[in-house]
Amino acid sequence: MPKRLDNTVKMRWAHVPRLMALLWKVGRRELTVVAALALISGLTPIAQIAALARFIDSAVPLMKSSAPVASALPWLALLVVTHLFGHLVLRLSIWIQDNAQEALKARLQERLLEKAARLPLASFETPAYYNLLQQAQKALHEHLLTLLGSLMEVAPSTISVLGLLVYAAAGSPWFPLLLMLGTVPAVILRVRLMRTMFLVEREQLPAERSLSYIEDLLVSRPAAAEIKLFALQSHLMGRRLQLYDSLAETRITLESDRVKQGLRADFFQYLSFGAVLIGVLSRLAHGRITIGQCAGNISAILEFQRSLVTLFWRIAVVDNDTRYIADLFAYLDLEETSAAPKTTDGEDAVTKSSDKRPVPEICFENVSMRYPGSETNVLTEINLTIRPGERIALVGENGAGKTTLCKLLLGLYEPTSGRILVDGEASTGVSALRGRGAAVFQEFMRYEVTVRENIGFGEISALDDGARIRAAAARSGVDATIDRLPEGYDTILGKSFDENGRDLSGGEWQKLAVARAYFREADVLVLDEPTSALDAKAEVVIYRQFEEISAGKSVLLVSHRLGCTKLADRIVVLEQGRIVEQGTYSELIAQDGVFARMYAMQAQWYV
Ligand SMILES: Nc1ncnc2c1ncn2[C@@H]1O[C@H](COP(=O)(O)OP(=O)(O)O)[C@@H](O)[C@H]1O
Ligand SMILES: [Mg+2]
- What's the pLDDT at 596? 93
Cα of 552 vs centre of ligand 2, distance in Å, is: 25
List of residues 6+ apart from 178 with CB closer than 8 A: 272, 275, 276
Q: Do domains 356-436+524-607 and 444-521 have the same CATH topology?
A: yes
Atom 2 of ligand 1: nearest residue by CA position: 371
Smallest CA separation from ligand 1 atom 17, residue: 401
Rounded distance between C-alpha atoms, residue 219 and residue 228, angstroms: 11
Q: How far apart are CA 437 and CA 391, in angstroms?
A: 14
Which segment of 346-355, 485-494, 526-535 scores lowest on mean pLDDT? 346-355
Q: Residue 560's pLDDT is what?
A: 87
- pLDDT on residue 430: 84
Cβ contact 93:41 at 8 Å: yes
Residue type, 96: I
540 C-alpha to center of ligand 2: Å? 21
Pocket of ligand 1 (CB under 6 A): 125, 371, 374, 378, 396, 398-404
Residues 11-332, CATH architecture:
Up-down Bundle (1.20)
Per-residue model confidence (pLDDT) at position 434:
80
d(CA 413, CA 599): 31
Q: Tell me the CB-side half-sphere exposure of residue 341, using CA atoms within 13 A.
A: 19
Question: Confidence band (pLDDT; 50, 70, 90) for 408?
Answer: very high
User: Which residue's CA is the closest to the ligand 1 atom numbered 25?
Assistant: 399
The CATH number of 444-521 is which of 3.40.630.30, 3.40.50.300, 3.90.1170.30, 3.40.1260.10? 3.40.50.300
pLDDT band at 12 (very low <50, low <70, confident <90, very high): confident
CATH (residue range 356-436+524-607): 3.40.50.300
Q: 445 CA to middle of ligand 2, Å?
A: 15
Which helix H or strand E contains 235, and what residues bound it? Answer: helix 233-285
Range with lowest mean pLDDT among 342-346, 406-410, 450-454, 523-527? 342-346
CA distances from 462 to 71, 110, 228 (A): 81, 25, 42
Is 70 exceeded by the pLDDT of residue 208?
A: yes
Mean pLDDT of the region 94-116? 90
pLDDT at residue 240 is higher than 80: yes
How confident is the model over 459-471, as a mean pLDDT? 95
pLDDT at position 484 is 95
Pocket test for ligand 1, best of 376, 377, 382, 404 (most atoms within 8 A of CB): 404
Domain range summary for the chain, segments of one domain joined by +: 11-332, 356-436+524-607, 444-521
pTM recorded for the entire structure? 0.83
Burial of 423: CB neighbours in 10 Å, binned 0-12, 13-18, 19+: middle
Average per-residue pLDDT for the chain = 89
Nearest to 393, CA basis, from 603, 579, 597 = 579
Q: How confident is the model at residue 423 (pLDDT cuts 50, 70, 90)?
A: very high
Look at residue 5 in the predicted model and tell me its pLDDT: 54
